[in-house]
Chains A and B, each alone.
With several copies, the nearest count.
Chain A
Amino acid sequence: MAKIVVDVMLKPEILDPQGVAVSAALPRLGFNFAKSVRQGKRFEIEVEGEPTPVQLAEVEKAAETLLANPVIETFTVRVEK
């Protein structure tokens, strides 16, 4: 069994209110490492056996139509060990 991960992030030019809220909260708690924070979604998809190229292409397709909203988001698909 393998795990395919789809990461979905808002496009850089799109306002990310959640990321802004986290950026603002960190220094209030004494954490000063962040120049900026963006918050996105992570999908962990379990598939039977090793993912085939065909399967990965399907996942790409699903990411584009369901998991991400291409109007405002970008996504990446990868296999995680």
Chain B
Amino acid sequence: MALDTVSIAQNNPDTSQPFAELGLKPDEYARIKEILGRRPTSSELAMYSVMWSEHCSYKSSKVHLKQFGEKAVKTDALLVGIGENAGVVDVGQGYAVTFKIESHNHPSFVEPYQGAATGVGGIVRDILTMGARPIAVMDPLRFGPADAADTRRVLPGIIAGVGGYGNCLGLPNIGGEVVFDETYIGNPLVNALCVGVMKHSDIKLAKAAGAGNLVVLYGAKTGGDGIGGVSVLASETFESSGPAKRPAVQVGDPFVEKVLIECSLEIFAEDLVVGIQDLGGAGLSCATSELASGGSGGMKVELDRVPLRDATLSPEEILMSESQERMCAIVEPKNIARFLEICKKWDVTVTVIGEVTDGERLEITWHGDLIVDVPPRTVAHDGPVYNRPLAKPEYVDRVNAETVSVPRPKTADEIKATVLKLAATPNLADKSWVTSQYDRYVQGNTIQSQPDDSGMVRIDEKTHLGVAVATDANANWSYLNPYEGAKLALAEAARNIATAGAKPLAVTNCLNFGSPEDPGVMWQFAESVRGLADGCLEMGLPVTGGNVSFYNQTGAVAILPTPVIGVLGVIDDVRTRTPMSFDRAGLDLYLLGETADDIAGSEWAYMHGQRGGSAPVADLQREMRLIELLVAGRTSKIFTAAHDLSQGGLSASLTEMVLRYHVGADIKVENVEIALISETPGRVIVAIEPVVKEQLLALAKKHEIVITRLGTTGGQDLVINGAIIPLEELRKAHSETFPKLFG
């Protein structure tokens, strides 16, 4: 097996290389040659090809994403911004919180269980890498139609994978989404979010500073995971002696990750690392080049020291391997003995693979031969940047002009039938078949989880400081108007934090789209980013990080534009949160916010095969006033309960409220044919003791929010304009759907 070294590359400039098979364009290949002043070695080619891929380099999205920095409001709360593994925000009392979403869409289609499991594992390592203890996870998911064969194949595996990995790590799952739509057939979306907490002084960064410091690889051994593409290289360049076909599937070992977390936190607590990076996409290529370029640039690595699970791996494959549960740390020599000792305590495999140098090049050797000699910045950060053509797709004006025609419930029978249908439709049905597979209690700090508007965890057991997180995306609205859709998702996520009385602080996002090579998709993407950036600017919330997933597309059909927005909020005392529902009779119910005839993009329209009309326009000033009202109402203890209105409108929200503690309500609304099903944004139902009515009205007036009395709580029925829906019947409709579909 011939090794391609730097000197061979110098002496044989004309050797043909499979750059196209590795996904590089001719001009990208030419640029690599220009950077190096010679052809790359096969190892260098492997590194550049994965690091310059869409997934790692953000080459199609970069020009748009930079708005998040440019338009951002300056806030002292942001301790670490975009660019690191995850952003970090100050939540007070000396605590910092980090959170981020990442996608694992394609792997979850290929192997649902492992794809979803390793998606959770990856985002948890990103959070750990910042120096934080991971404290909770969430999983926004999208699937094809609930009764489609493909959905039956992927959904159970994905749910089991999210649970299997998260449960074994001891991370409470505090929320997520399960949404069905035809466009996700063949393109399920598995987004995973993790939240972590640390003290300010514990923040860690991905940088390799200080010549002589050691490069330490610890965690799982390296195998041939996720390097399907690179084996092209191995087989083209060499007569490969290893297994011909490397698996593109990565398999996770949550036990190893759990031990890695505890081991790392013990190492952090003793302040034994200078810099740290997890190994995710692009494995060692990414970790070494990012660490080196985060420091002065110089690093030497002896690749043959990497502990292998499969002895037949070639150096190219080792550089690319996406084996899970690995971390790379920069450690001062004086600390290495203690570092190794802690790894030994936790039975974690650990190897010194190199050292930081005072040069500016990343040099990697294989049994003494130099196989990589590159300026690390060129690998990690100077990838190609594309300003891809974009064009407003033809469908937009056409569908915006359509009028939505759906049945309008007016009579008592129609009202009852509508409420029951909405309660049972897969997008709105009870998700406990899913969430009961997730541990929500572990760590003993979970204050809210599904089906609450947001997840909430306590981070200090003495002061009861806590954080709340919600994720949202309304792909129907994004399809009709991606700019407004992104803003509306942001507003909804923020509102979901605020109903509990927490104050929104920071934003993360996972932008799931079709192919960036399609100008229409690129337009959807650009509009979504612009909408989110404008929205965050207006609401004064920083974007702390995120992830882009392109190529979610089957043939010519792209998924609906699905920007999943996560908002993190803080609450000074979790004991004072406003619960999502009421547990007793005799309370008064009010609707905060006005209802218009917003049927376009609604669940009721979707259920009737309608995907036309115009999306609502986000009024973020009003959203902010509503948020202030909700936070103020919590601190002055006015609310007994508060619940957001979103998909399924008033009908769905009332259903969720009365079923939560099995206490009914008697409601009267005007224009029921609109009020019941409209999805006008910026609305919340609150429950109060009748005695605080005047305080509530004053609060609404102060914040200029329209308020309408809906009715009272109590009884064993949900009664709407005289239509009686027994709670038992409603519960049956709501809870039967998932067990029937997925058993």
Contact = CB atoms under 8 A, between A and B. Distances in A.
A/B contact in complex, CB under 8 angstroms: yes
Interface string A68-81: 01011000000000
A17 B251 contact: yes
Interface in A1-60: 10-15, 17, 20-21, 24
Given A13-B310, A15-B309, A15-B323, A72 B255 contact: no
Interface of B: 110-111, 114, 220, 223-225, 243, 246-247, 249, 251, 253, 255-256, 309-310, 323-324, 347
6 nearest interchain CB pairs?
A: A17-B253, A15-B251, A71-B111, A13-B224, A13-B243, A13-B247
A29 to B, nearest CB: 12
Contacts of B110: 71
B523 to A, nearest CB: 35
Given A14-B247, A72-B114, 15 more contacts: A12-B243, A13-B223, A13-B224, A13-B243, A15-B225, A15-B251, A17-B253, A17-B256, A24-B347, A69-B111, A71-B110, A71-B111, A71-B249, A72-B247, A72-B249
A11 B111 CA distance: 14
A70 to B, nearest CB: 10
Contact of B246 (A10, A13, A71): A13
Nearest to B310: A13
B714 to A, nearest CB: 42
Interface of A: 10-15, 17, 20-21, 24, 69, 71-72
Contacts of B225: 15
A15 B253 contact: yes
Contacts, number: 36
Contacts of A13: 223-224, 243, 246-247, 310
A20 B246 CA distance: 20
B223 A15 contact: yes
B255 A14 contact: no
B347 to A, nearest CB: 8
A58 B253 CA distance: 29
7 contacts: A11-B247, A12-B243, A13-B310, A15-B324, A17-B251, A17-B255, A21-B255
A10 B247 CA distance: 12
A16 to B, nearest CB: 8
Contacts of B256: 17
Contacts of B323: 15
Nearest to B323: A15
Contact of B253 (A11, A20, A72): A20
Nearest to B254: A17
Nearest to A71: B111
A21 B224 CA distance: 19
Contacts of A17: 251, 253, 255-256
Residue among A12, A20, A24 with the highest chain B CB neighbour number at 10 A:
A20
Contacts of A69: 111
A72 B251 contact: yes
A15 B110 CA distance: 17
A43 to B, nearest CB: 18
A10 B111 CA distance: 13
